[in-house]
């Protein structure tokens, strides 16, 4: 039985009410084409596209934009040699690229956050799912031990931390992606009496500086920046597992990119 790209897209969009406007759409390729194989990623990097081609996959489902901007406004960008080469690779390979960002975030609960919680083994500790964060209360660990636990479970090389190593952590707000800003996090810290915020990324002068002041005031607060990709990859990995069940005849690969940054 032939499965088209459009059918896979329809299946993805079945999960949640349709959002308008949305960045979720087919950015390259045609919905009518038959799917040979699917690659699911946080971001369709140059290396991911090459790898998808070598795996014989012709549909990439990516969370973030392929061309380095959320809205992927391509005006003038075609003159850029990096973008031009990537664009040509996509064209040549005939691989379709579907952006799946808003709808997975708006699932109830947020499919990206849920992936992170499951990867951490913290689903038994969920207290409340909010639209852009989940509150968990875990058995108490020091901040240092919590960091070790995160790095081990998520297999990440480093995280950035504000707080005191020996601080006890139990009540935690988890915010995958770029949700570490003050507007979202400060009310959470207060209303849910949280010890620790674990976010993908966010502006440094907002929540991290708030936590620095809170610590100086003698409060039990800490902040961990996991990295944007590191916080959202588990949710995309779970999506790949769901697609494998929904389309058992199709090869579905999750590709985890190498770490974006190294620390020196």
Task: Yes or no: say if 215 and 165 are a contact pair by the CB < 8 Å rule.
Answer: no
Cα separation of the two ends of the chain: 52
| Integer angstrom CA distances of residue 251 from 36, 37, 125, 259 | 7, 5, 34, 25
Helix (H, G, I), strand (E, B) or coil at 177: strand
Residues 6+ apart with CB under 8 A from 156: 150, 226, 227, 230, 259
241: contact with a copy of itself by CB under 8 A: no
Instruction: Please report where in the chains the tokens 């020996």 appear, as a residue.
Output: 166
**Among 197, 185, 202, which Cα is nearest to 221's?**
197
Site for a copy of itself in 82-121 (CB under 8 A): 82, 85-86
Closer residue to a copy of itself (CB): 1 or 264: 264
Closer residue to a copy of itself (CB): 31 or 77: 77
Q: How far is the CB of 87 from a copy of itself (least distance, A)?
A: 11
Closer residue to a copy of itself (CB): 210 or 254: 210
Q: How far is the CB of 32 from a copy of itself (least distance, A)?
A: 29
Closer residue to a copy of itself (CB): 149 or 247: 149
How far, in Å, CA of 201 to CA of 86, rounded? 26
**Among 64, 35, 42, 39, which Cα is nearest to 50's?**
39
* Count of CB atoms situated within 10 Å of the CB of 197: 29
Closer residue to a copy of itself (CB): 35 or 195: 195
* Count of CB atoms situated within 10 Å of the CB of 155: 11
Site for a copy of itself in 174-233 (CB under 8 A): 178, 182-183, 186-187, 190, 201, 203-210, 212-214, 216-217, 219, 221, 225, 227-229
Closer residue to a copy of itself (CB): 29 or 208: 208
264: contact with a copy of itself by CB under 8 A: yes
Q: How far is the CB of 248 from a copy of itself (least distance, A)?
A: 32
In the structure encoding, which two tokens stand for residue 148, read together?
């070790």
Q: How far is the CB of 185 from a copy of itself (least distance, A)?
A: 9
CB-facing half-sphere around the CA of 189: CA atoms within 13 A: 23
147: contact with a copy of itself by CB under 8 A: yes
Binding mask 42-81 for a copy of itself (x = CB under 8 A): -x-xxx----------------xx--xxx-----xx-xxx
Closer residue to a copy of itself (CB): 35 or 104: 104
DSSP string, 78-93: GGSHHHHHHHHHHHHH
Q: Which residues bind a copy of itself (CB under 8 A)?
A: 43, 45-47, 64-65, 68-70, 76-77, 79-82, 85-86, 144, 147-148, 151, 158-162, 178, 182-183, 186-187, 190, 201, 203-210, 212-214, 216-217, 219, 221, 225, 227-229, 257, 260-264
């Amino acid at each position: 039985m032939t499965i088209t790209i459009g059918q896979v897209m329809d299946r993805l969009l079945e999960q949640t009410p349709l959002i308008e406007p949305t960045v979720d759409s087919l950015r390259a390729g045609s919905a009518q084409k038959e799917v040979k194989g699917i690659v699911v990623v946080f971001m369709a990097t140059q290396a991911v596209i090459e790898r998808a081609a070598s795996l014989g996959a012709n549909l990439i489902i990516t969370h973030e934009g392929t061309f380095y901007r959320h809205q992927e406004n391509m005006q003038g960008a075609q003159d850029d040699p990096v973008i031009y080469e990537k664009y040509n690779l996509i064209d040549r390979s005939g691989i379709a690229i579907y952006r799946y960002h808003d709808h997975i975030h708006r699932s109830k609960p947020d499919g990206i956050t849920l992936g992170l919680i499951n990867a951490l083994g913290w689903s038994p500790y969920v207290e409340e799912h909010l639209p852009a964060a989940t509150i968990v209360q875990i058995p108490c660990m020091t901040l240092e031990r919590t960091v070790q636990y995160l790095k081990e479970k998520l297999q990440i090389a480093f995280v950035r931390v504000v707080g005191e190593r020996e601080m006890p952590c139990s009540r935690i707000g988890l915010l995958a992606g770029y949700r570490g800003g003050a507007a979202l996090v400060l009310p959470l810290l207060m209303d849910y009496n949280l010890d620790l915020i674990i976010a993908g990324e966010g502006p440094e002068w907002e929540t991290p500086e708030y936590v620095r002041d809170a610590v100086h005031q003698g409060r039990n607060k800490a902040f961990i920046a996991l990295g944007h990709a590191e916080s959202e990859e588990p949710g995309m990995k779970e999506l790949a597992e769901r697609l494998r069940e929904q389309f058992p005849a199709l090869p579905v690969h999750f590709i985890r990119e190498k770490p974006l940054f190294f620390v020196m």
